[in-house]
Amino acid sequence: MSFISFAFMIFLPIAVAINFLVPKKFRYIWLFVVSMAFYYTAGIGAMVLLLISIASVYESGIMMGRNKSKSKLILICSLVFNIGILFVSKYLNFVLGMVGSIAYGESDAMRLNLILPLGLSFYILKSVGYLIDVYRGDIEPEKNIIKLALFVSFFPQILAGPIERAGNMIKQFENPVPLDFDRFRNGLFQMLWGYFLKLVIAERLAIYVDSVLSAETGTVGAVSFMAIMFYTFQIYADFAGYSHISIGVSRILGIDVMKNFESPYLARSIAEFWRRWHISLSSWFRDYLYIPLGGNRKGEVRRYINVLIVFTVSGIWHGAGFNFLVWGLLHGIYQVIGRILTPMRDKVAAMFNVGRSSFSHRVIKTVGTFILVSYAWVFFRADSMTQALTLIKRSIAFTPWKFVDGSLYAFGLNRANFLLASFGIVLMTVVDIFNCSGIVIREKILSQGMWLRWIIILTGILFTVICGMWGPGYNVADFIYKQF
């Protein structure tokens, strides 16, 4: 069940209404029931796999609590089992494809008929995080299987995160907060912003991007450049949209979930970008992979190697394909080169007396980071390496007249829709700039007087419903990150 389906529009009010009526101490049971009902729509097979994974994680946690001496062995076994599920479902065909190509000259020769269950990559990371936390002694093993199962399967997060930590979630199941009107209103408003990002911006930009990528002619220069820029905002609006809906739904249900984005395109370096983009995943890799690998504690060379390993794994986690691998590796290389060039950049800045904290310097750094991130996204989006390289090559051709001669309107978006999409990008950026200054627009609006607040919210709802890309006229794609 997708957040942008009619079924969800019926499912959510029922889940919320009953959650409101259920006594606080039993609320986690209800949330588990609705989470199972939600995930059941992904298919019975996927649900069975989820339950098996939950059972193994629960039992491993209990066993680690009981046998401290064997906890490492138990951890390894449980990690092998759960990561094994992920490997078989997500990567086995990729590996078999490579073997098939080498052995038979055909990548499909050895492929198996495997289906990737929805949200598997996300809930496995949550489970792995829980197991490592128990092993490290950061948290006690959870004795109530329903609470642990709810942590793993909590329906607003199961399909695409945020990848929460057990320590933050389980304590909220044990001590539920009162469900008051402000929480409800705040959650709904955050959901509305999420739907706006997804339906008005991301889906609209997707039309242009898909159209350019599938076009055989007429895309040289500005058209391809705009496709790269639009995809950069599409994936942000898409994933941030999903995350806002997820966090909003959780809040309505009485659960506070960590932020997943913090104005990522205003970052001034790639390292900062990763502290702002998909925060729950970045911090997961930092805590459960980068630091255990030695982090930056074992010298510069080892640090570079660790960075490259983490970003390669991050790339592969996103998808079984060379394009994802290249995308991850590229981000690792960006950071390594950035680190290596730091002394040189410092020298140049000192030589030319560049004020590193000046506004213009900060803007240049932000724009530079944005361009690097945008061009890396090409590998993420493209269906093949060839397509990615072709798009990059086309985008650097000098055709500025195409910005004004109407060429941009020939790829799925007419002038009105193109302008609306651009307006959406501007709005999203303005909200991020405020956010960067510590001003949360949502909270500002909610603190206004009733009439102004209502006018803004009602306008937002109408605008999203009317200008959103949904219904039979559109083939509304699901959230991009759901596929991972």
Instruction: Output the six-digit token pair for 162.
Output: 């945020």
Interface mask toward another protein for 69-98; x: CB under 8 A: ------------------------------
Asked if 39 and 160 touch (Cβ cutoff 8 Å), the reply is no
343 binds another protein (CB under 8 A): no
Residue in 143, 383, 458, 475 binding another protein, rule: CB under 8 A: 458
Residue in 468, 479, 482, 484 binding another protein, rule: CB under 8 A: 468
Residue in 23, 105, 181, 344 binding another protein, rule: CB under 8 A: 181
102 binds another protein (CB under 8 A): no
Four-point Cα dihedral 157, 161, 164, 166, nearest 10 = 50
Residue in 25, 358, 465, 475 binding another protein, rule: CB under 8 A: 465
Cα–Cα distance, 423 to 434 (Å, whole number): 17
469 binds another protein (CB under 8 A): yes
Sole window of 81-89, 211-219, 281-289, 461-469 interacting with another protein (rule: CB under 8 A): 461-469
Nearest-approach distance from CB 477 to another protein, in angstroms: 16
Instruction: Output the six-digit token pair for 355.
Output: 């004020």
3-state secondary structure 405-430: CCHHHHCCCCHHHHHHHHHHHHHHHH
Site residue total, another protein (CB under 8 A)? 20
Amino acid residing at 469: M
Chain centroid to CA 267 = 17
Cβ-based neighbours of 341, under 8 Å, separated by 6 or more: none
Cα–Cα distance, 114 to 96 (Å, whole number): 12
Longest dimension (CA), the chain: 72
426 binds another protein (CB under 8 A): no
17 binds another protein (CB under 8 A): no
21 binds another protein (CB under 8 A): no
- The residue (of 438 and 472) whose beta carbon lies closer to another protein is 472
451 binds another protein (CB under 8 A): no
7 binds another protein (CB under 8 A): no
- The residue (of 341 and 458) whose beta carbon lies closer to another protein is 458
Cα–Cα distance, 183 to 258 (Å, whole number): 15
Cα–Cα distance, 83 to 86 (Å, whole number): 5
470 binds another protein (CB under 8 A): yes
H/E run at residue 459: helix 450-467
Sole window of 19-27, 149-157, 295-303, 454-462 interacting with another protein (rule: CB under 8 A): 454-462
- The residue (of 344 and 466) whose beta carbon lies closer to another protein is 466
Q: At what angle do helices 222-252 and 415-436 cross, to 10 degrees?
A: 60
Nearest-approach distance from CB 454 to another protein, in angstroms: 7
461 binds another protein (CB under 8 A): yes
Neighbours of 130 (CB within 10 A): 28
Nearest-approach distance from CB 245 to another protein, in angstroms: 19
Residue in 392, 456, 474, 478 binding another protein, rule: CB under 8 A: 474
Length of the chain: 484
Nearest-approach distance from CB 181 to another protein, in angstroms: 5
Cβ-based neighbours of 418, under 8 Å, separated by 6 or more: 208, 408, 409
Cα–Cα distance, 18 to 267 (Å, whole number): 42
Window 400-419: residues binding another protein (CB under 8 A): 414, 416-417
- The residue (of 33 and 457) whose beta carbon lies closer to another protein is 457
- The residue (of 46 and 469) whose beta carbon lies closer to another protein is 469
Number of H helices, E strands in the chain: 21, 0
456 binds another protein (CB under 8 A): no
Sole window of 24-32, 137-145, 234-242, 466-474 interacting with another protein (rule: CB under 8 A): 466-474
Nearest-approach distance from CB 471 to another protein, in angstroms: 4
Distances from the Cα of 3 to the Cαs of 14, 197, 244, 482, 483, in angstroms? 14, 13, 11, 11, 14
Sole window of 10-18, 70-78, 324-332, 467-475 interacting with another protein (rule: CB under 8 A): 467-475
Which among 356, 306, 312 has a CA at the least distance from the CA of 330? 312
Using the 8-state DSSP alphabet, how is residue 356 labeled? T
Nearest-approach distance from CB 352 to another protein, in angstroms: 50
- The residue (of 376 and 476) whose beta carbon lies closer to another protein is 476
- Please give the residue ranges that form the binding site for another protein (CB under 8 A): 6, 181, 414, 416-417, 450, 454, 458, 461-462, 465-474
